[in-house]
Amino acid sequence: MFHKEGQKIIITTFIITCTVILLANFFVDIPWLRLILQITSLVILVLILQFFRNPKRNAAKSFDEILAPVDGKVVVIEEVEETEYFKAKRIQVSIFMSPINVHVTRYPASGLIKFSKYHAGKYLVAWHPKSSEENERTTVVINTPKFGDILYRQIAGAMARRIINYAEVGDSVQQGEDAGFIKFGSRVDLFLPLNSAITVKLHQKVIGAKTCIATTRVQKENED
């Protein structure tokens, strides 16, 4: 299954691939060159297909958990000052996506969209300290029953050139549902309340709509 945001580029790449293979077969007389052209075009098609894949995932919805919004690796867990919306301290958890990860963004929690804003910006590498503030990005705030307001931010990187965000103010959203896409994406930052119990570690690989990022403090203490 492929994401709808990739339909045009998948169709275009498929047509180009078929054209290259046919033209090379009929007009390139050098066997090794013909083979290289055909294999290269097929490899590019396969890479495009894997990039836009959209595996179906049924999240085990829970108001007491924040789920990973994307696939990738946790690169930041720290207390920071969030300056755009909260203007107060929050726990930041950042997930970096490599080109081979699924790049679908999914809602990390169920609730009501209170804020959704697009920012034009630079295309610094995703792990750059200033990328969260200076790169092209979208900021979304969800009001949740247990955590209150949480914020997630889609951030473009050096290769990303388009962020897709479906969240609109007033929408009621469900945990794990499709929230957008970062084409040739990079990273998503979560900003959570200070009393959240973080359940992941630095460099841990996470799966969107599956891996629990944080729980309510009360739930964690009860389990202990």
The set of catalytic residues is 186
Q: What is the dihedral of CA 122, 124, 126, 127, to 10 degrees?
A: -130
Q: Which amino acid is at 207?
A: I
**Which ranges in 53-210 belong to alpha helices (H)?**
131-134
CB-based burial of residue 81 (10 Å sphere; 0-12 exposed, 13-18 middle, 19+ buried)?
exposed
Residues counted in the chain: 224
CB 139 within 8 A of CB 208: no
CA distance 202 to 187: 14
Q: Residue 142's beta-bridge partner residues?
A: 113, 150
Collect all residues with Cβ–Cβ distance below 8 Å to 170 and sequence separation of at least 6: 112, 113
Please give the Cα distance from 141 to 151 (Å, whole number).
Answer: 4
